[in-house]
Amino acid sequence: MSTQALRDKIAVITGGSSGIGAACARAMAAEGSRVVVGYHQGLDRAQALVAELPGQGHAARHIPLDDTASHRALAEWIRQELGRADILINSAGYTRRIPHADLAQMEPALFNEILLANAGGTFSITRALLPLLQERGDGLVVNISSVSAFTGSGSNIAYCAAKAAVDTLTMSLARVFGPKVRFLSVSPASVDTDFVSGRSREELAKKAAQTPLGRVVTPEDVARAVLACATHLKTATGTRIVIDGGHTL
C-alpha cells in the first residue's frame, strides 16, 4: 500500500526503460514521485512506461552514458522544466559475457569502453545533476552496483572493475558532499533481467538454489532496496546495500 512517502519529489532514473530501472520508476511513482525515465535506445519502451506510471508529470529523456554534453543538457532541461531534482538513480550500464581468462577477447579498447559506460557515465551524469541535488539540502544518489564489485566474479573482468569504481566513487562523493546529498550503492547478485545476453533463467535459478535464501533476485527486489534508501535509510551514506540472497556468503 502506497504511503506517498516521495510526494513532490522528482526522481531521475538512467536506464529507466527496462529491467531494474523500469522497476525503480514504478516504485518511485507509486510513492508519489515525478519520474524522469532515462533511456538510450528504448524510446518506445520509455514512453510506454511513462504512460502507465501513476501520477502526473512524468517524462522520458534520452540519456546516453557516453555523451557528456547530453548530461549537461539534461540538467538544464530539468532546471527549466521541473525546477529541481531530488533523487538520481544511476541504473544504466553495459556489459557482455566474456570468460575472465579470455584476455584475447577482452581487448584494451573494450575494457575501456565497459569502464567508461559503467563508471565514467555514472560520474558524468552525477556531476551534471549535482548542483540541482544540492539545492534543497536532502538530495540522494543511488548507484546500481553489483556484488561483482567486491567478489571479482561477474560477466567479465572489466565489468567487475567498473562496479568497484562505482562503489569507490559512491564513498568518495558521500564524504565530500554530505550533508546536502547522500550517496549509496545497491549491490545485487545476478538479477532476473536480460542485461547479460545469453544468461538463461535456468542458470539464474541454479545459482540461486546454492544461496542461503534460495531465490533469484528480481528487479522489484532491487527497486524496493532503492526505495528504502530514499524513504527509510536516512542516516546511511557512502556505503553499499547488498541484496544478494546470501550469494556472497
SS3 (DSSP) at 221:
helix
Q: What grid cell was written down for 40?
A: 538510450
Q: Is 159 a catalytic residue?
A: yes
Candidates 213, 186, 217, 223; CA nearest to 204 is 217
- Catalytic: which of 94, 123, 159, 177? 159
Residues in contact with 61: Cβ distance below 8 Å, sequence separation at least 6, in sequence order: 36, 37, 38, 39, 74, 77
- By the 8 A CB rule, do 184 and 241 touch? yes
The CA-based angle 198-38-204, given to 5 degrees, is 25
CA distances from 190 to 52, 126, 201 (A): 27, 25, 10
Instruction: State the catalytic residues.
Output: 159
